[in-house]
């Protein structure tokens, strides 16, 4: 049974730790030194250049109420059983008004309805209108510009102007204001800007649209955007993009996950309805219980990849719904196959192609890089056995249209007359199970069969984000990924993002947590960031003996820099002394040690304590081939050792 360390040093003290003080932590048990031997001159297998990446989907308010920077929730006025979700009527003073859904008028075919605000009486200081609570608040920062817009229709402009305001929930104080003059006639889009002053950052705010005269206004698609990553219009939250960049990913598996499939056949990810102007995107029912605006649509996924200098792993819908239905292979499936072919053209085609031209019209003439296409998601759930034939139909058509891309199957397809280049394996396991699973791929045959994509994996402990025990399980698992990266071409943890507000999440644990204003990284995030940020292109010959049964390691070499990257994971409550034999390392070298430590398996970071477990850096001098090193209890160490 694991014990918490009895006397844990302060975080400040930890950052100053030397080799000697490392050895004193967890000193209650003194195992004999393990012997680790590494021969950097003998590379036994390659490391995939794309090994570490990210997987995403709309779950836990990952996009709406998360990465997608939109601040207005339910911006298209979708009704629920008692009203219009997240919206309320504003009636200041003696103003008299009501609002209702009007199913007969909207600004586009995609958005055919609207909210109708009828104002019987209103005046300056006694205004009437609508208020929106945002996604668990409207986050505001000082001296910041927020760009807003809405569609409106009025028969008589005298009801206006419309005033847009940001108001603090606790004080009722107005933090920013803008006026918009209306024009009578058909639906038009109006824009406004709200600029905050010297306010304290907070998320306890709401947004209002009001008028000061009697009359009627129809509203639809109300939007408010804060500054975004790289100032991209309709773009992403800056803090979350920065955290993803610091994970050192090489790819993004998109758009899901179950989000690709939907609960029912009609809920499939129909990418053509997620591109173009927002007013032409109807949104769709996503499987994780809530509506997706598709404001973060296919082009935004691709621009997200571009911003992070990574490439998409494009999952195409393959005709299976989560409730168990499937589209029959053959003519019924053909429209979906054609949709996939069109989708790949939208991603990669030049502007002379139909869908490449559409992408250019949508604002991105340059094609995106692509190497991998995944057909479906988790089709082992399809108990009808139709995936073999569905995969074959997609594979034949895609290979004919695009022979250059590698195809990923979501499960082996023994009865299919087309075989995948790669199979996607998923693992969600307790940390202890994950540790017992670390050597799984060591035994898999290299002589035949497809490569492996571990497209979803996580050690399941901690909520809403993984605790340190999960980080230990994850780090242990990653040593297996690295050692077997001749076979495992890519791997991505899942899920990536979670809005930690009550009611916002459907799955736990998740790698990065946030509320409307702040975000934090979990211990597992830091483990991944360290592993992915310190990885070579080859695995040298190595062996270990005498280590505890909760000790794991991997070693890679960067052939360009000559730096050896050693990963040492001690998931035990006892320290692990080691004699590390680095063959051929004759001169003294300084090793850089990145150390992640938790006081117990249960220790974790949270939105209120984001920095409890963060990597510390220290150095140790290695004087020759043999290095005496101790890995403290409950520790993940990533060590860079220059070899020349
Ligand atoms: O990552 C959460 C879910 O787990 C994914 O949507 C699905 O593919 C898997 O079952």
Rounded Cα distance between 351 and 218, Å, is: 38
Task: State if residue 258 touches ligand 1 by the CB under 6 angstroms criterion.
Answer: yes
For residue 565, the surrounding DSSP H or E stretch is strand 563-570
pLDDT at res. 215: 98
Task: State if residue 469 touches ligand 1 by the CB under 6 angstroms criterion.
Answer: no
Contacts (Cβ under 8 Å, ≥6 apart) of 448: none
Q: Is the peptide bond before 464 cis (omega within 30 degrees of 0)?
A: yes
Q: For the whole model, what pTM was predicted?
A: 0.94
For ligand 1, the distance from its centroid to the CA atom of residue 290, given in whole angstroms, is: 16
Residue nearest to atom 2 of ligand 1 (CA): 495
Strands (E), 410-478: 422-429, 451-459
Strand pairing class (205-211; 128-132): antiparallel
Q: Which of 494, 495, 507, 511 to mutate to test the pocket of ligand 1 (most atoms within 8 A of CB)?
A: 494
Residue nearest to atom 9 of ligand 1 (CA): 257
pLDDT at res. 197: 98
Residue nearest to atom 4 of ligand 1 (CA): 257
For ligand 1, the distance from its centroid to the CA atom of residue 334, given in whole angstroms, is: 26
On the 0-12 / 13-18 / 19+ scale of CB atoms within 10 A, 530 is buried
Rounded Cα distance between 58 and 496, Å, is: 10
Rounded Cα distance between 137 and 175, Å, is: 14
CB 113 within 8 A of CB 106: yes
For ligand 1, the distance from its centroid to the CA atom of residue 185, given in whole angstroms, is: 47
Rounded Cα distance between 180 and 174, Å, is: 17
Q: Is 426 left (phi over 0), alpha (psi -120 to 50) or beta?
A: beta
CB 617 within 8 A of CB 607: no
Phi and psi at 587, nearest 5°, equal -85, 160
Using the atom order of ligand 1, give the atom closest to the CA of residue 456: 1
CA distances from 417 to 212, 329, 372, 388, 389 (A): 69, 13, 20, 8, 8
Using the atom order of ligand 1, give the atom closest to the CA of residue 426: 9
Closest to 481 measured CA to CA, from 45, 38, 47: 47
Rounded Cα distance between 327 and 323, Å, is: 13
Using the atom order of ligand 1, give the atom closest to the CA of residue 507: 2
For ligand 1, the distance from its centroid to the CA atom of residue 508, given in whole angstroms, is: 11
Q: Which of 376, 495, 511 to mutate to test the pocket of ligand 1 (most atoms within 8 A of CB)?
A: 495
For ligand 1, the distance from its centroid to the CA atom of residue 501, given in whole angstroms, is: 21
Closest to 203 measured CA to CA, from 514, 502, 580: 514
For residue 102, the surrounding DSSP H or E stretch is strand 96-102
For ligand 1, the distance from its centroid to the CA atom of residue 410, given in whole angstroms, is: 12
Task: State if residue 510 touches ligand 1 by the CB under 6 angstroms criterion.
Answer: no
Residue nearest to atom 5 of ligand 1 (CA): 257
For ligand 1, the distance from its centroid to the CA atom of residue 429, given in whole angstroms, is: 13
Residue nearest to atom 7 of ligand 1 (CA): 257
b vs e for 272-283, b when ≥16 Cβ sit within 10 Å of the residue's Cβ? ebbbbebbebbb
CB 57 within 8 A of CB 36: no
CB atoms within 10 A of CB 330: 10
pLDDT digits (tens, 9 = 90+) for 382-397: 999 999 999 999 999 9
- Retrieve residue 13's tokens: 């003290």
Task: State if residue 379 touches ligand 1 by the CB under 6 angstroms criterion.
Answer: no
Q: What is the separation of C-alpha 486 from the centre of its chain, rounded to a whole number of angstroms?
A: 26
- The tokens 């836990």 sit on which residue? 60
3 state SS for 71-134 = CCCCCCCCEECCEECCEEEEECCCCEEEEEEECCCCCCCCCCCEEEEEEEECECCECEEEEECE
For ligand 1, the distance from its centroid to the CA atom of residue 495, given in whole angstroms, is: 7
DSSP letter assigned to residue 123: B
For residue 14, the surrounding DSSP H or E stretch is helix 11-15
For ligand 1, the distance from its centroid to the CA atom of residue 439, given in whole angstroms, is: 24
Query: DSSP letters of 28-58?
Result: T--PPPEEEEEEEEEEEEE--TT-EEEE--S
Task: State if residue 57 touches ligand 1 by the CB under 6 angstroms criterion.
Answer: yes
CA distances from 608 to 265, 397, 515, 614 (A): 41, 51, 11, 14
Task: State if residue 107 touches ligand 1 by the CB under 6 angstroms criterion.
Answer: no
Using the atom order of ligand 1, give the atom closest to the CA of residue 494: 1
Q: Is 83 left (phi over 0), alpha (psi -120 to 50) or beta?
A: left
Closest to 240 measured CA to CA, from 525, 493, 533, 581: 525
Task: State if residue 257 touches ligand 1 by the CB under 6 angstroms criterion.
Answer: yes
Task: State if residue 501 touches ligand 1 by the CB under 6 angstroms criterion.
Answer: no
Q: Give the CA-trace dihedral at 563, 305, 234, 102, to 10 degrees.
A: -140
Beta bridge pairs of residue 38 = 542, 582
Using the atom order of ligand 1, give the atom closest to the CA of residue 258: 6
Residue 196's Cβ-side half-sphere holds a number of Cα atoms within 13 Å equal to 22
Task: State if residue 54 touches ligand 1 by the CB under 6 angstroms criterion.
Answer: no
Strands (E), 181-290: 185-195, 205-211, 215-225, 251-254, 284-285
Task: State if residue 256 touches ligand 1 by the CB under 6 angstroms criterion.
Answer: yes
Task: State if residue 508 touches ligand 1 by the CB under 6 angstroms criterion.
Answer: no
Residue nearest to atom 8 of ligand 1 (CA): 257
Task: State if residue 410 touches ligand 1 by the CB under 6 angstroms criterion.
Answer: no
For ligand 1, the distance from its centroid to the CA atom of residue 318, given in whole angstroms, is: 16
Task: State if residue 456 touches ligand 1 by the CB under 6 angstroms criterion.
Answer: yes
Q: With a cut of 50, which residues of the chain have pLDDT below it?
A: 1-27
For ligand 1, the distance from its centroid to the CA atom of residue 176, given in whole angstroms, is: 41
- Retrieve residue 478's tokens: 């990653």
- The tokens 């990597």 sit on which residue? 615
- Retrieve residue 338's tokens: 């054609």
On the 0-12 / 13-18 / 19+ scale of CB atoms within 10 A, 297 is buried
Rounded Cα distance between 490 and 578, Å, is: 31
Q: Is 317 helix (H, G, I), strand (E, B) or coil?
A: coil
Task: State if residue 509 touches ligand 1 by the CB under 6 angstroms criterion.
Answer: no
Closest to 451 measured CA to CA, from 567, 379, 539, 371: 371
pLDDT at res. 28: 53
Q: Which of 374, 377, 497, 506 to mutate to test the pocket of ligand 1 (most atoms within 8 A of CB)?
A: 377
On the 0-12 / 13-18 / 19+ scale of CB atoms within 10 A, 580 is buried
Q: Is the peptide bond before 539 cis (omega within 30 degrees of 0)?
A: no
CB 70 within 8 A of CB 64: yes
Q: Which of 377, 456, 459, 464 to mutate to test the pocket of ligand 1 (most atoms within 8 A of CB)?
A: 456
């Amino acid at each position: 049974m694991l014990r918490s360390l009895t006397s844990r040093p302060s975080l400040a003290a930890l950052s100053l730790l030397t080799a000697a003080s490392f050895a004193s932590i967890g000193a209650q048990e003194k195992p004999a030194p393990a012997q680790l031997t590494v021969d950097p001159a003998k590379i036994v297998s390659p490391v995939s250049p794309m090994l570490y990446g990210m997987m995403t989907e709309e779950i836990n308010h990952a996009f709406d109420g998360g990465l997608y920077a939109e601040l207005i929730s339910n911006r298209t006025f979708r009704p629920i059983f008692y009203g219009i979700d997240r919206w309320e009527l504003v009636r200041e003073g003696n103003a008299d008004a009501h609002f209702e859904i009007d199913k007969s008028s909207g600004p586009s075919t995609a958005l055919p309805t609207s909210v109708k605000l009828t104002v019987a009486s209103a005046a300056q200081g006694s205004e009437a209108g609508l208020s929106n609570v945002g996604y668990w608040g409207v986050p505001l920062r000082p001296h910041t510009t927020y760009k807003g817009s809405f569609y409106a229709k009025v028969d008589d402009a005298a009801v206006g102007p419309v005033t847009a305001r940001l108001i603090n929930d606790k004080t009722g104080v107005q933090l920013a204001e803008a006026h918009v003059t209306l024009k009578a006639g058909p639906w038009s889009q109006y824009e406004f800007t709200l600029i905050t002053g010297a306010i304290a950052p907070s998320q306890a705010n709401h947004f209002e649209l009001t008028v000061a005269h009697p009359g009627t206004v129809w509203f639809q698609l109300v939007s408010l955007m804060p500054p975004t990553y790289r100032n991209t219009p309709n773009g992403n939250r800056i803090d979350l993009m920065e955290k993803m960049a610091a994970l050192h990913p090489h790819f993004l598996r998109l758009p899901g996950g179950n989000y690709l499939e939907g609960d029912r056949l009609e809920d499939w990810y129909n990418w053509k309805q997620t591109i173009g102007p927002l007013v032409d995107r109807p949104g769709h029912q996503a499987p994780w219980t809530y509506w997706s605006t598709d404001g973060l649509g296919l082009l935004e996924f691709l621009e997200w990849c571009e911003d992070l200098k990574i490439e998409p792993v494009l999952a195409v819908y393959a005709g299976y719904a989560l409730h168990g239905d499937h589209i029959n292979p053959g003519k019924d499936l053909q429209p979906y196959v054609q949709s996939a072919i069109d989708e790949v053209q939208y991603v990669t085609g030049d502007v002379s192609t139909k869908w490449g031209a559409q992408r250019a019209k949508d604002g991105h003439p340059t094609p995106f890089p692509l190497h991998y296409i995944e057909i479906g998601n988790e089709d082992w759930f399809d108990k009808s056995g139709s995936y073999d034939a569905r995969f074959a139909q997609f594979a034949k058509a895609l290979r004919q249209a695009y022979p250059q891309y590698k195809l990923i199957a979501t499960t082996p397809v023994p009865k299919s007359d087309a075989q995948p280049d790669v199979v996607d394996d998923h693992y969600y396991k307790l940390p202890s199970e994950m540790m017992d699973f670390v050597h799984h791929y060591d035994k898999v045959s290299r002589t035949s069969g497809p490569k492996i994509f571990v497209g979803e994996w996580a050690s399941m402990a901690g909520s809403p984000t993984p605790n340190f025990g999960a980080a230990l399980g994850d780090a242990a698992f990653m040593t297996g990924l690295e050692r077997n990266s001749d076979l495992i071409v890519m791997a991505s943890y899942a899920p990536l993002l979670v809005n930690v507000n009550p009611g916002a999440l459907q799955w736990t644990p998740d790698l990065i947590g946030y509320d409307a204003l702040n975000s934090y990284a979990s211990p597992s995030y830091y483990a991944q960031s360290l592993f992915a940020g310190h990885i070579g292109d080859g695995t040298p010959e190595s062996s270990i003996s005498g280590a505890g049964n909760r000790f794991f390691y991997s070693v890679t070499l960067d052939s360009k820099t000559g730096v050896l990257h050693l990963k040492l994971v001690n998931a035990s409550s006892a320290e692990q002394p080691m004699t590390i034999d680095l063959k051929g390392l004759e001169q003294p070298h300084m090793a850089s040690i990145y150390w992640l430590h938790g006081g117990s398996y249960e220790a974790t970071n949270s939105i209120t304590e984001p920095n409890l477990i963060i990597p510390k850096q220290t150095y140790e001098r290695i004087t020759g081939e043999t290095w005496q090193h101790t890995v403290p209890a409950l520790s993940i160490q990533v060590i860079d050792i220059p070899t020349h």
